[in-house]
Amino acid sequence: MIFERRRENRSTTRLRPGKLITETGRFLCDCAVIERSPTGARVRAFAPVDDTLPEELFLFDEVEAFKWRARIIWAKGAELGLELASSSLPVDDAERHRIAGRFYAVGN
């Protein structure tokens, strides 16, 4: 018997592109959002995540141009389980361009 700890069912997102960023907007790494619900997400990070990520950060969805305040609940290899600690926050065009820009990770 499998014990499910999630409060809500997650939906598969077909590897939606995203980014993990700090509270100040600094780039941490690119990721793929594998599953998401209103209160959580499972992502696959495209960078080493052993000791490099803070416990609290933002998840940015490049397709929807929203971000969520998030907390890392678990990590297994490159996959992370995130608790979404806020509802979706809109990202204006200037911030979206800065975050999703082609060279975002350079110099930020």
> For the chain, what is the domain count?
1
Average pLDDT along the chain: 83
Q: What is the mean pLDDT of residues 40-54?
A: 86
Let me know if residue 49 belongs to a domain: yes
Q: What is the pLDDT of residue 1?
A: 39
Let me know if residue 30 belongs to a domain: yes
Q: What is the pLDDT of residue 80?
A: 95
Let me know if residue 3 belongs to a domain: no
Instruction: Dump pLDDT digits (tens) for 84-108.
Output: 999 999 998 888 888 876 655 544 4
Let me know if residue 37 belongs to a domain: yes
Let me know if residue 98 belongs to a domain: no
Let me know if residue 5 belongs to a domain: no
Q: Whole domain around residue 49: which residue ranges?
A: 16-86
* CATH (domain of 72): 2.40.10.430
Within a 10 A sphere around the Cβ of 25, how many other Cβ atoms? Answer: 14
